[in-house]
Structure 1
Amino acid sequence: MRFLFNLSFLLLAPVVLIEKFRFDNYTLFKVLPENERQIEILQNLQDNDLRFDFWSSPGIKAEFVNIMSKPENKIDLDNFLKSNGINYEIVMSNIQEAIDKETVSPYTRGRTPSMQFDTYYNLEGINAWINDLVRTYSEVTKLVGGVSYEGREIEGFRISHGSGRKIIFLEGGLHAREWISPATVCFIANELLTSTNPETRAAARDFDWYIFPVTNPDGYVWSHTNFRMWRKNRRPIGNFFGVDLNRNWNSNWLVSGASTNPATDTYAGPGPFSEPESRSLSTYLRSLGDRIDMYLSFHSFGELLLIPFGNSTAPYANYHDAINIGRRAMGALSVRFGTLYRTGNIAEAIYLATGGSIDWVKEDLNVPLVYCYESRDRGQYGFLLPPEQILPNSQETMDSVLELIHQGRRFGYLNNSGRILSPLLWVMIVALAKLLWVYKF
């Protein structure tokens, strides 16, 4: 049950504790549509039956669709899929068990090394870590990218080794339940500050890195304290709560893949930039002018690298360069653990969806290279990526970010400073050096 309190009630009434929602015996279906007719059937189910939580949306290119069902609706979903000849498998029969296995660790203030990268952290821990980075590293400056509906600042930081550099901007946590997103962003930041890898150090020096791990702070807090699967922000809309912040940006707003129903997870809001989070963050981004050379947005899940746009499969802007750069970067990502990402624009890789941050950044700010990561996995755990996959996911993503920079320069972008060796070339150099040492050549 959700409660809406006004300020006077909060001041006068005793403290009311809202019990954290549990997902005991909730089931996750991995649905495997085989043709357009089955996709249309699933789309109709998503649009018209709010009993089911679609963790991924059915689209023409969708290889699978994850649907979460309450215990009392499991048989109905099972019968519906069977009656329409749609194949599926049960990948989680009790979602609460997966939630219980997630590790959320406390952060020890004043000790930046206590930040670990095989666990999740709540907003308080992430923001405390940011403040400690500012105190520890002279090249780190605290930033505020906006404000939330509930008054929380969208906290971030800049890593800069001098003036005159172009910006690489990292946006995480726009969807609250995608915990792997802030974890990955924090890992990348830590690598830029602490790694001894020459190419990582060069990347840190050659650009100003603007890093915002959690851009939906209210929703992220709610996903930790009350409802693990929460996606939107926390603004009350009539009897419901929340707007999907990745459908609220003023780029083809409400054209495709978004809802006018505030009960849904893809509710786009009453208008473009109606939400303080998207509105204030966009204002902040616009203030950076033409200094942004690369914008990276981090989401989950599906193992995809997406480029704008979500309204059409047409090759807008520098589509061909962006795709070629992205595919090479995903090749670098696959080296470490064999994870295979697919690259494409939003509409061709998954489904039509508009009003997202990367479309607005590309269209309004004309940033040369704009990408959205849909991180691990491919529907086995979805938003509940287990702790043992957090660090591998972040490591392979870091490999690909360095390759994006390298390939971007090869294609004529990001050329405001010195060059960085390709991660693949660096691996070969290290291997050759080890070989020479072993055989004393």
Structure 2
Amino acid sequence: MKVLLVFVLISLAALASARKPFAARYDNFKVYRAFVEDNEQLVEFKKIHHHLQVHILHEIGGPNRSYDVIVGPLFQRAFEQVLHDLQVQYDIIVEDLQALLDESSVDEDAPMDWETYHPLDVIYDWVDEQCDQHVYLECQVIGHSYEGRPIKSVKLSKREGNKAIVIEGNIHAMEWISSATVTYILNQLINSEDEEMQRLSEEFDWIVMPMVNPDGFVYTHDVERLWRKNRRPNGYSNSSGPCYGIDMNRNFDYHWSGAGWGIEDPCDHWFGGDEPNSEREILALQEFVNSFEDGYIRAYLAFHAYGQYVLLPYGHTNTEFPPNYDQMMRIAAAFADAAEDAFGSVFTYGASGLLNYVVSGAAKDWAYGVKNIPFTCTVELRDKGTFGFFLPSNQITEVGVEVTEGLKSLVAKAVDEGIFD
């Protein structure tokens, strides 16, 4: 295949002012979905990353799958020509990215709800209010981010002797639906009059970290909506200047750096760091989890976007599986069935290295492989790609409802399977 590798340099630079940075805009930027059919196309598609800065929204795994790419208006014709030369089929799934982003309303002054996306201060204020109002909540700052923001946790415990479930949110900055869903679940556990949710809050302890990446999250609100990593300068630079950030879900010390596309490129979205456990946010999370006695935490759920998956260990391989993989599959199936009953959202479940792509250093694998927590997973929330990372805020409540229904069934099945024994 003769390939013309003339590609696009997508400028994602944000304007800055003395007071507060202006958010980057994406007027008339399109999102392309390119289907890479075979290994020959995949080889050439991967070369794009080595020669040009393009905003590819997915890690490049194997062939026979689609990848979403953002392209600015000045370069769309050239981009389409390259795909034509590669014989890569594509669709335009978003005609105007800024118009889509505008559908995800953010109200900086509104009190906490699940009808809009909120900035960090509103989320944290709500967490603090809940902690002040309920004696069964133990709230603490488990550490601070690189830029000095607190990383907060909430432990809900109404009865001695309970086993615990950990819920983690927004380790990836751009995945706003993650912290929105985690806080929705927490609100249901605290304030819902639903009998099943009340029972779950009585019979289990819940340890919730709604915002693992506060620096990156603030950056997505103030500067760059597409930011994924944390904001620590990582010591490298490219033609655009210094490079920032580590993908913290590639930084856990369990088969770290063994697999994954882009994890060794310091200026890419998926850079896993020069060494494992290099990020203070990850160390704070691990030290917090390590502070509990062995055997107390029986499930660890990390919430991400997007694709509607329940991803189980392992991520670093697609040929090896955990000893209790069949058991975890039954528990994941219970979640998927109940979540689908709510609004028809179909969740696929299985080992992440098998279903998604092979990648190392994720939280769920560390929780399973190092902490020996018998059920761990990454829940990839809505949707399957129509909106992707930019899910409109009018879907937040529906996502919360379907995930809560899935969680009820997940816990019930885990009990049946002896996870909490």
> Normalization by structure 2: what TM-score?
0.90
Residue 366 of structure 1 aligns with which residue? 372
Residue 101 of structure 1 aligns with which residue? 103
Question: Structure 1 pair 292/79, CA: closer, same or farther in 2 (3 Å)?
Answer: same
Q: Do the aligned residues in 2 keep the contact of 1:51 with 1:69 (CA within 8 Å)? A: no
* Range that drifts further, 241-250 or 155-164: 155-164
TM-aligned CA deviation for residue 223 of structure 1: 0.5
Alignment partner of 1:184 out of 181, 186, 192: 181
What secondary structure is seen at the aligned counterpart in 1 of 2:290? helix
Residue 153 of structure 2 aligns with which residue? 156
Deviations 1:258-298 (A, max 9, x none): 42222100111121111111122111111123211110000
Q: Give the aligned residue type for 2:259.
A: S
Residue 352 of structure 2 aligns with which residue? 346
Residue 52 of structure 1 aligns with which residue? 54
Aligned partners of 1:166 and 1:322: how far apart in 2?
A: 18
Residue 206 of structure 2 aligns with which residue? 209
Alignment partner of 1:225 out of 222, 226, 229: 222
Q: Give the aligned residue type for 1:74.
A: Q
Q: Do the aligned residues in 1 keep the contact of 2:233 with 2:245 (CA within 8 Å)? A: yes
TM-aligned CA deviation for residue 3 of structure 1: 11
Residue 268 of structure 1 aligns with which residue? 272
Q: How is 1:38-77 mapped onto 2 (pairs within 5 angstroms)?
A: 38-45=41-48, 47-60=49-62, 63-77=65-79
* Range that drifts further, 258-267 or 205-214: 258-267
Q: How is 1:320-335 mapped onto 2 (pairs within 5 angstroms)?
A: 320-335=326-341
Aligned partners of 1:241 and 1:121: how far apart in 2?
A: 24
What secondary structure is seen at the aligned counterpart in 1 of 2:74? helix
Aligned partners of 1:199 and 1:150: how far apart in 2?
A: 40
Q: Do the aligned residues in 1 keep the contact of 2:37 with 2:63 (CA within 8 Å)? A: no
Q: Do the aligned residues in 1 keep the contact of 2:251 with 2:275 (CA within 8 Å)? A: yes
Deviations 1:183-231 (A, max 9, x none): 0000001111122222211111111111111100000011011111111
Q: Do the aligned residues in 2 keep the contact of 1:123 with 1:217 (CA within 8 Å)? A: yes
* Range that drifts further, 16-25 or 282-291: 16-25
Residue 438 of structure 1 aligns with which residue? none
Alignment partner of 1:392 out of 398, 406, 415: 398
TM-aligned CA deviation for residue 79 of structure 1: 1.7
Residue 29 of structure 1 aligns with which residue? 32
Question: Structure 1 pair 165/356, CA: closer, same or farther in 2 (3 Å)?
Answer: same
Equivalent pairs counted in the alignment come to 400
Question: Structure 1 pair 297/62, CA: closer, same or farther in 2 (3 Å)?
Answer: farther
Residue 21 of structure 2 aligns with which residue? 18
What secondary structure is seen at the aligned counterpart in 2 of 1:58? coil
Question: Structure 1 pair 115/351, CA: closer, same or farther in 2 (3 Å)?
Answer: same
Q: Give the aligned residue type for 1:330.
A: A
Question: Structure 1 pair 93/327, CA: closer, same or farther in 2 (3 Å)?
Answer: same
Aligned partners of 2:29 and 2:348: how far apart in 1?
A: 30
- Aligned-residue Cα RMSD (Å) equals 2.0
Report whether the alignment pairs 1:122 with 2:128.
no
What secondary structure is seen at the aligned counterpart in 1 of 2:115? coil
Q: Do the aligned residues in 2 keep the contact of 1:405 with 1:414 (CA within 8 Å)? A: no
Q: Give the aligned residue type for 2:147.
A: E
TM-aligned CA deviation for residue 144 of structure 1: 2.0
Report whether the alignment pairs 1:284 with 2:288.
yes
Residue 79 of structure 1 aligns with which residue? 81
Aligned partners of 2:328 and 2:46: how far apart in 1?
A: 30
Provide structure 2 residue ranges, at least 5 long, that are not aligned to the other structure. 1-12, 236-241
What secondary structure is seen at the aligned counterpart in 2 of 1:214? coil
Residue 9 of structure 1 aligns with which residue? none
TM-aligned CA deviation for residue 362 of structure 1: 0.8
Deviations 1:276-332 (A, max 9, x none): 111221111111232111100000011111011111122223111111210221011
Q: Do the aligned residues in 2 keep the contact of 1:62 with 1:350 (CA within 8 Å)? A: no
Report whether the alignment pairs 1:246 with 2:249.
yes
Aligned partners of 1:237 and 1:143: how far apart in 2?
A: 28
Residue 428 of structure 1 aligns with which residue? none
Q: Do the aligned residues in 2 keep the contact of 1:61 with 1:348 (CA within 8 Å)? A: no
Report whether the alignment pairs 1:301 with 2:306.
yes
Alignment partner of 1:311 out of 308, 316, 341: 316
Q: Give the aligned residue type for 2:89.
A: N
Q: Give the aligned residue type for 2:223.
A: N
Aligned partners of 1:58 and 1:267: how far apart in 2?
A: 13
Aligned partners of 1:408 and 1:168: how far apart in 2?
A: 11
Aligned partners of 1:410 and 1:334: how far apart in 2?
A: 21
Q: Give the aligned residue type for 2:56.
A: F
Q: Do the aligned residues in 2 keep the contact of 1:55 with 1:65 (CA within 8 Å)? A: yes
